[in-house]
């Protein structure tokens, strides 16, 4: 069973999307902010990380930087899942090593799932 770390501060999405991912037989690990997310990434070694950008305490980009700097977590693919949609943000995310950048309001849940499957190579 593939493990997905979901770093997102909106508890509604943690519940809703978490339920969907569980239904499709992924193990979901929730993190409500960046610090918890980094800790769990190291301890749980997920197969994929879904990362929001607007997070309390740490901006998503700082989390991404730290993930890619740490040898234990740098290989884990990261999908940015956010509502920010400026060109600069997308470019910065890809520059920092994210696999793909999805704007939440533009994607249906199934489409996000397809992307996840693609990144996980299924």
What are the residues binding another protein (CB under 8 A)?
9-10, 12-13, 15-17, 19-20, 23, 54-57, 83-84, 104-105, 108-109
Strand partners, 49: 5, 78
Q: C-beta of 24: minimal distance to another protein in Å?
A: 9
Q: C-beta of 119: minimal distance to another protein in Å?
A: 19
Strand partners, 78: 49
In the complex with another protein, which residue's Cβ is closer, 71 or 105?
Answer: 105
Residue for token digits 């499957």? 117
Supply 12's token pair: 């509604």
Task: Please give the helix or strand (H or E) that residue 28 lies within, else none.
Answer: strand 27-31
Q: Residue 113 in contact with residue 20, Cβ under 8 Å? A: yes
Q: C-beta of 5: minimal distance to another protein in Å?
A: 19
In the complex with another protein, which residue's Cβ is closer, 64 or 112?
Answer: 112
In the complex with another protein, which residue's Cβ is closer, 18 or 46?
Answer: 18
Distance CA 41, CA 31 (A): 10
Distance CA 18, CA 10 (A): 12
Q: C-beta of 12: minimal distance to another protein in Å?
A: 4
In the complex with another protein, which residue's Cβ is closer, 89 or 97?
Answer: 89
């Amino acid at each position: 069973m593939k493990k997905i770390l979901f770093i997102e501060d909106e508890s509604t999405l943690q519940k809703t999307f978490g339920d969907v991912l569980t239904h499709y037989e992924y193990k979901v690990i929730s993190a409500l902010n960046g610090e918890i997310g980094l800790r769990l990434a190291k301890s749980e070694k997920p197969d994929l990380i879904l990362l929001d950008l607007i997070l309390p305490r740490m901006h998503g980009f700082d989390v991404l930087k730290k993930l890619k700097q740490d040898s234990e977590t740098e290989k884990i693919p990261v999908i940015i899942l956010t509502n920010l949609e400026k060109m600069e943000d997308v470019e910065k995310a890809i520059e920092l090593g994210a696999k793909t950048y999805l704007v939440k309001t533009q994607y249906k849940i199934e489409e996000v799932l397809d992307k996840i499957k693609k990144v996980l190579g299924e």
